[in-house]
Amino acid sequence: MNRIIPLTIGAWVMYCSMVGSYDGAIAILSVYLLLVFIDPFYTRNKKGTTAANSRTQK
């Protein structure tokens, strides 16, 4: 699933470039790049739970 989104965005950017709508291609590309740069900061603050942490010890 992680590879489908960039593939779709790349295809849309190529389509917009072929049609001549460069402002649409730049807008979609800039939003995607913004999401790519924000994602590591968002996932760094999340703490993952593992099976060992979810078990209760008696």
Predicted local confidence at residue 55, as pLDDT: 58
Q: Which helix (DSSP H) or strand (DSSP E) does residue 11 occupy?
A: helix 4-19
Give the torsion through C-alpha atoms of 43, 45, 51, 54, to 10 deg.
-140
Residues 1-58 pLDDT 10s: 578 878 888 888 888 888 988 888 888 888 888 888 887 766 666 665 565 555 565 5
Which residue is associated with the tokens 């965005």? 9
pTM value > 0.75: no
Distance (Å) of CA 38 to CA 5, 21, 43: 16, 26, 9
Would you list the domain boundaries of the chain? 20-44
Predicted local confidence at residue 51, as pLDDT: 58
Predicted local confidence at residue 57, as pLDDT: 58
State whether residue 56 is helix, strand or coil. coil
